[in-house]
Structure 1
Amino acid sequence: MGKQAYASPAAGMSYRDAGWLARDKLEGARIQLARNFLAKGEEINIEEEWLVVDRVVAGRSFKSRSRPGASLGLGGGGAVGLRWEFLVKWRGLEYSDATWEREEDLQGDQEHIARFQRIRPRTAADLEGAVPEGKRAACLKAGGPGHMTQLRDVQALQLPSFCNGRKLRSYQEEAVRWMVSNYVAGRNCILGDEMGLGKTAQSVSCLETLRQLGYVPGPFLLVAPLTTLGHWQREIQTWTDMNVVLYAGSRADRQVILEHEFKFDPDTLAAMAARAGASSRPAKLPSHVTSGLAANPYRFNALLISYETLLKEQSMLCKIPFSAAVFDEAHKLKGATSSTRAAAMALRTGWTLLLTGTPIQNHLGELWAMLNFLDREEYPDQDAFMEQYMGPNGGPPSMDQVNALRGCLSGLLLRRMKEDVETLPEKEEVVVWVELTGEQQEFYKAIYSKQVGALLGGGAKSDMPGMRNLAMELRKLCCHPFLCDGLEEESRMRRVIKQTEAGGSATVNELELLVRASGKMVLLNKLLPKLRKEGRRVLIFSQFTRVLDLLEDYFAMMAWPHERIDGNTKGKDRQVRIDRFTNGSDEECFIFLLSTRAGGQGITLTAADTAILYDSDWNPQNDLQAMARCHRIGQSKEVTIYRLVTKATYEEHLFNTASRKY
């Protein structure tokens, strides 16, 4: 919770420099003092993290009595008479909120300045001899991964040491060696491990192995869903010392990143070499350093973006020659004609790695789409692929076809299941059949009867929009009548009439109205107090953000602490909410509300041991993704999944149909 404050930071100043008074202090002050202060600024909440340095992104020198000089991207000392200031990005704020801070004002943040000095001239290590000149030059001269003899003996390859004492499990080491062998062979591939086995850590470790042992100059590109970018950034920073740049935010944010985090300036490195040596004249750079700059003139080792940013910045990203590209949740690329896939295929990448826990969600054509993305020459035609590996008329394949497909995928796809490589606590899935309330039944029949003609009319193409609308309205009604237009007012009016006819008040109890209107809410009203008493932490997933709104209203009335992530949650808030839920006590953290699509991918929430699927997805793989948020590596408790299904309704039909896809 932020401090209630009246703040007035001047333009270009951080919140550390903002003048602020606590609300109680201000209210106790003289009225004229309050008016004078309020005239200078606006009332805001200053979050504690806004005062914490996230990273130093640039540096420049200036003379004490003159205007700031040219940006050098260096810091700490310098010629006599020069002082330094640094461009600071603050935690929880965007790049456009970054401010220039003088070095003497950052005395408590020396580790960030030290990190900046270490990683900004990305090839400074070359000057100090950290990377063997001959090996780097040989690697660059050889012309690519196919000539990397130092990585050819993959089985004997000793993986590098990772930061913070992080270690891979044996099956994860096996996957890293498999990915490295594909890189050396120049073969794109798919890591298709089941959800929860650490695909993020394995792929990051692969890139770090290429960087440390293969002397691959980079840069690397990582594309992931928006909801997972914070997790990816943290994993890269935890496992490696790579300089990872998260390229996201508004146009103003991205402009700051482009200006200060993208291109590497050779003059900066020359200036550093001059300062490090005895001569005050710019030193001539070693040949292997200049060749490294030619291969990768970018300041970052890894660039992290969302699929949305890939579309927005396609023209700029296509100009960057990436040594390797990793696509998380790669089933997003399955649409053969999608703009996202086209943008990804237009990138200049030396090697491509796809990550997906669900290589096939609905049909074999989705697998072909990924194989075609990896190798268009080998898999040019979907019809030929389907004919080769599917039965007649798209029917089930024969055993010979299955074996042939396995042989085809043996070098391209690595997939392991949890039960094969990990010993995780048990997961129990319970289908809870829910009855409609009496009022819900009335509404259900009314909606259904008005549209039943469309359902019984033979399903002509012109009738499909009406039929889809009917299906959606019935699904919404099964969740809660208040999702349907006009039914909240109808329900409220009925309750008022019933109360007044009985001689009672016309005032409606909001909690009672919300709970009794829906069979699922009646069930949750009984289940959740029991789970809270047992000290359980709960994830609740729904397809509808309006359901999440109603549940938030209910939790507020019950005074239950909760967090929420849906498609509208800002990127900078997602990881904060995840951390709050993960690190808080049971009293502080009880429920996490998530939309199935936005919150069901790439998020680790092993602090929870219970998940409730308030409504099921058309695609059962999305529900499996949601369950895997808590049943994954790091889970120490048995996990219970409650799936709520309304009995004898369209929702039951949907569940039965989707179950056949498992």
Structure 2
Amino acid sequence: FNVLYRKQTAKKHRTWEEDGFLVIHGKSMLLKNSSDTIISRGKHELALQVGDEIKVGQFDVLIDSLLHIGSPAPKPPQPKIASPKIAKTPLKHPINLVPVKATCSTPVSKKRIQEPESPAIFPKVFDQFKMHTVTDHINPDAENAILMNPPPDVLQKNGPCRTVVIDSLLAQHLRDYQIEGIRFMYDGVMGFRPDGGQGVLVAYEMGLGKTLMAVTLIWTLLRQSPYVNESSVISKCVIVCPKTLTENWRDEFRKWLGRNKVAVLVGDSSAAVRRFFANNVYSVMIIGYDRFRLDDETILNADFDLLICDEGHRLKNASTKSSQALNMVKTPRRIILTGTPIQNDLAEFYCMVDFVNPGFLGTYQAFKKRYETPIFRSRQTNASSFQIMEGKEALQDLANETSAYIIRKRSSVLLKHLPPRSEYVVFCAPSNEQKLLFRRIIQDLVGSTSYDSLLESGDFLKWILYFRKLSTAPCLLTRGSGVTEDFVNDPSLRHALASTSGGKLVFLKHFLTKLLQKTEEKVVLVSNFTKTLDVLEGLITSIGATFLRLDGSTSAKDRIKLINDFNRTDSKTSFAFLLSAKSGGAGINLVGASRLFLVDSDWNPAGDLQAMARIHRDGQKRPVYIYRLLCTGTIDEKIYQRQLSKLGLSDSLVDEKESSLVSMFSSEDLKDLFSFDDSTKSLTHESLGCPC
């Protein structure tokens, strides 16, 4: 058997330390290390099978996979590479092994080259080949085996090749678009592309299983290599992700591979980071972006083979300390996982591409001149026909140049696997209290200065925040919210400021009451503000419903429990899940709910898209409904319009779609932020010029 073993210990957190072999003869057992040295002996009474944990002398042993046993196998002499033929000297305790099948042709081909017949039990004799062992789970000849692409002809000079296959334990769970993504990542990190780059940007939208794809790639590279003279491609991998997702990543490894196949360490302290690089016990470290920055000296001085950055759009700013530290990593094998490759502008896209393949797009100054400037000009409302044509050509050139190392899939590929998903934009008329306060703020606080002066002042963002809060509920403009004391203490405004009757909340209360009374469905309510979550708590309580809440104060341990409790209970136990978009909008699964409400919108569409993807994922059994709530005639609509502009750029570049929405809005529209129109049914609808 192939086995994992460790010395017996009373420690609470135990990991498997080494790979080895367990040789069975009658009731006797020999435990060998990877160098074929006997390190312990024992006896057994019961039949053994894959997955059993047993004791052999002073070692705990996990049986990983079976080495096929059959007729007597010949003992091989030291082979010559040119003619690896096996001598016919019988062994004392013969074991016959299924040979590894090799190919350097297309993945579906069965063409073989000559290899030693029984190398796996004698790694010292056949160390020139260091061949991975064919097992029941890793067998290129198995029915429905998923094979990786072979090295291109130019790389086959590195030596004899063999087929790399996805472990069947993982392969059985993969969908077509995931297999395509895994092969794309594999070709990239192996340097199979014509340009020789080893970086990849995986821009699969949320809910498409990027984590499973990454786990599959890592496991494949840890156990196999396409070259006969290598036993594996990598020995250590570092995964960098938001701190809140480190436990999720560890749980995903356990979910798909079990607890013992690969040793995974969460790098949540400097000591843990040092421990990962100090020995060969751990193969994978999962670390948060902030911890990586704090321990960058240790990490940058260490050697590892693969770097994966989850939620990689965090690398959009090359000047941040985290980005600077990650860019200094030695390994060229770099993968970014992100559902939103373009969040704001092309400068951020350049940073991510330059991270995975440094220098491929030249300097930023050259990139800006060649691509960013003409594309930006072509998307303005006053662009000339020549500028529009020039921008389209630049956009197409950029898409062509980056397509070799960017793979994109939209959530539409899930349509045949999951229940349908419907999205609605709900325009809610402001309440009388909101109308009064909007007019008063504009009159008293904005009317005293010009819009240009306001945009240039340092208070610009503060006023945006006031308008965003008021668009949800007047009661959010209280002491501590930043508005002036004179405004809060104004007797004529006191009643309005105490009101929770914002247009969006009125709609929400009626809708949730009907759901609670007529259905067994559950809901997720998402906001960017903790004070808004406080207001939503009161709303849920007022209709007699129950709720759970996850925000920035929730610990990592409690996060997992809250999510599991919500998904496993009915609507009577937990009807609503209150979610902070900043703290819980990414990487979690809330399929216990079938309806999600975005109570307020973010300037960055990525945050909203992340939040919206929490319920339309694997495991969802009901049709999904997503509602974006906007207060008409207010800054809510301006934010939504800006999102359409940014998403239009992403669609045009990464998805190669024609975008018409973006040209409807210019940068001048931002100056209209501090206005309020209480006569419109929808500014957005009017801006689009819809004839309905």
Say whether the fold is shared (TM-score over 0.5): yes
Change (3 A) 1:131 1:315: farther
Unaligned stretches of 5+ residues in structure 2: 15-50, 63-118, 132-150, 192-196, 226-231, 379-389, 648-692
Residue 624 of structure 1 aligns to a residue in which SS? Answer: helix
Contact residue 600 and residue 626 of structure 1 kept, 8 A: yes
The whole-number CA distance in structure 2 between the counterparts of 1:150 and 1:226 is 43
Contact residue 341 and residue 349 of structure 2 kept, 8 A: yes
Q: Considering Cα pairs closer than 8 Å and 6+ residues apart, tell me whether 1 or 2 has the greater RCO.
A: 1
Residue 327 of structure 1 aligns to a residue in which SS? Answer: strand
Find 2:342's aligned residue among 343, 348, 360: 360
Find 1:311's aligned residue among 293, 318, 327: 293
Find 1:378's aligned residue among 335, 342, 360: 360
The whole-number CA distance in structure 2 between the counterparts of 1:474 and 1:352 is 41
The whole-number CA distance in structure 2 between the counterparts of 1:495 and 1:111 is 76
Deviation per residue, 1:612-640 (Å, 9 max, x gap): 00001112232122111112343332211
Deviates more, 1:570-579 or 1:373-382: 373-382
Deviates more, 1:330-339 or 1:169-178: 169-178
Residue 523 of structure 1 aligns to a residue in which SS? Answer: helix
Find 1:452's aligned residue among 439, 443, 446: 446
The whole-number CA distance in structure 1 between the counterparts of 2:165 and 2:559 is 36
Q: Is 1:415 aligned with 2:408?
A: yes
Q: Is 1:85 aligned with 2:10?
A: yes
Change (3 A) 1:134 1:172: farther
Shift of 1:341: 0.2
Q: Is 1:74 aligned with 2:7?
A: yes
The corresponding residue for 2:237 is 220
Q: Is 1:482 aligned with 2:499?
A: no
The whole-number CA distance in structure 1 between the counterparts of 2:127 and 2:190 is 16
Bigger proportion of residues as helix: 1
Q: Is 1:403 aligned with 2:396?
A: yes
The corresponding residue for 1:334 is 316
The whole-number CA distance in structure 1 between the counterparts of 2:250 and 2:123 is 28
Shift of 1:440: 2.7
Contact residue 157 and residue 177 of structure 1 kept, 8 A: no
Change (3 A) 1:169 1:443: same
The corresponding residue for 2:265 is 245
The whole-number CA distance in structure 2 between the counterparts of 1:458 and 1:655 is 22
Q: Is 1:160 aligned with 2:144?
A: no
Shift of 1:420: 4.4
What is the number of residues matched between the two proteins?
Answer: 499
Letter in 1 for 2:211: T
Letter in 2 for 1:521: L
The whole-number CA distance in structure 1 between the counterparts of 2:596 and 2:501 is 23
Find 1:394's aligned residue among 376, 386, 390: 376
Find 1:635's aligned residue among 620, 627, 639: 620
Contact residue 448 and residue 474 of structure 1 kept, 8 A: no
Shift of 1:451: 1.9
Contact residue 524 and residue 577 of structure 2 kept, 8 A: yes
Q: Is 1:231 aligned with 2:233?
A: no
Shift of 1:390: 4.5
For 1:255-274, list aligned pairs within 5 A. 255=271, 257=272, 262=276
Q: State TM-score, norm by structure 1.
A: 0.67
The whole-number CA distance in structure 2 between the counterparts of 1:437 and 1:459 is 30
Contact residue 375 and residue 391 of structure 2 kept, 8 A: no
Shift of 1:493: 11
The whole-number CA distance in structure 1 between the counterparts of 2:538 and 2:10 is 47
Change (3 A) 1:477 1:162: same
Residue 464 of structure 2 aligns to a residue in which SS? Answer: helix
Q: Is 1:529 aligned with 2:513?
A: yes
Contact residue 199 and residue 334 of structure 2 kept, 8 A: yes
Identity over aligned pairs, percent: 28
Deviates more, 1:538-547 or 1:636-645: 636-645
Change (3 A) 1:523 1:487: farther
Letter in 1 for 2:437: F
The whole-number CA distance in structure 1 between the counterparts of 2:441 and 2:208 is 44
The corresponding residue for 1:200 is 211
Deviation per residue, 1:546-599 (Å, 9 max, x gap): 111222243345442222222332122211111111122232222111122222
Letter in 1 for 2:335: L
Change (3 A) 1:421 1:482: closer
The whole-number CA distance in structure 2 between the counterparts of 1:224 and 1:571 is 14
The whole-number CA distance in structure 1 between the counterparts of 2:601 and 2:525 is 12
Residue 179 of structure 1 aligns to a residue in which SS? Answer: helix
Shift of 1:221: 0.5
Contact residue 478 and residue 488 of structure 2 kept, 8 A: no
Residue 333 of structure 1 aligns to a residue in which SS? Answer: helix
Letter in 2 for 1:202: M
Letter in 2 for 1:527: F
Deviation per residue, 1:264-287 (Å, 9 max, x gap): 6xxxxxxxxxxxxxxxxxxxxxxx
Shift of 1:331: 0.8
Q: Is 1:585 aligned with 2:570?
A: yes
Q: Is 1:321 aligned with 2:303?
A: yes
The whole-number CA distance in structure 2 between the counterparts of 1:552 and 1:118 is 51
Unaligned stretches of 5+ residues in structure 1: 1-71, 76-83, 90-109, 120-127, 265-296, 499-511
Find 2:426's aligned residue among 413, 427, 432: 432
Change (3 A) 1:567 1:130: farther
Contact residue 53 and residue 61 of structure 2 kept, 8 A: no
The whole-number CA distance in structure 2 between the counterparts of 1:312 and 1:552 is 37
For 1:129-148, list aligned pairs within 5 A. none
The whole-number CA distance in structure 1 between the counterparts of 2:158 and 2:601 is 46
Letter in 2 for 1:615: D
Q: What CA RMSD, in Å, does the superposition of the two structures yield over aligned residues?
A: 3.9
Change (3 A) 1:300 1:637: same
Shift of 1:445: 2.3
Find 2:629's aligned residue among 632, 635, 644: 644
The whole-number CA distance in structure 1 between the counterparts of 2:570 and 2:162 is 44
Contact residue 540 and residue 591 of structure 1 kept, 8 A: yes
The corresponding residue for 1:171 is 177
Residue 87 of structure 1 aligns to a residue in which SS? Answer: coil
Q: Is 1:542 aligned with 2:527?
A: yes
Contact residue 234 and residue 306 of structure 2 kept, 8 A: no
Contact residue 194 and residue 417 of structure 1 kept, 8 A: yes
Change (3 A) 1:361 1:155: farther
Letter in 1 for 2:404: G
Residue 399 of structure 2 aligns to a residue in which SS? Answer: helix
Residue 415 of structure 1 aligns to a residue in which SS? Answer: strand
Letter in 2 for 1:458: D
For 1:465-614, list aligned pairs within 5 A. 465-486=458-479, 516-533=500-517, 534-614=519-599
Change (3 A) 1:135 1:494: farther
Deviation per residue, 1:388-434 (Å, 9 max, x gap): 33463732354443432233123211112232465243322222222
The whole-number CA distance in structure 1 between the counterparts of 2:130 and 2:415 is 37
Residue 341 of structure 1 aligns to a residue in which SS? Answer: helix
Residue 459 of structure 1 aligns to a residue in which SS? Answer: helix
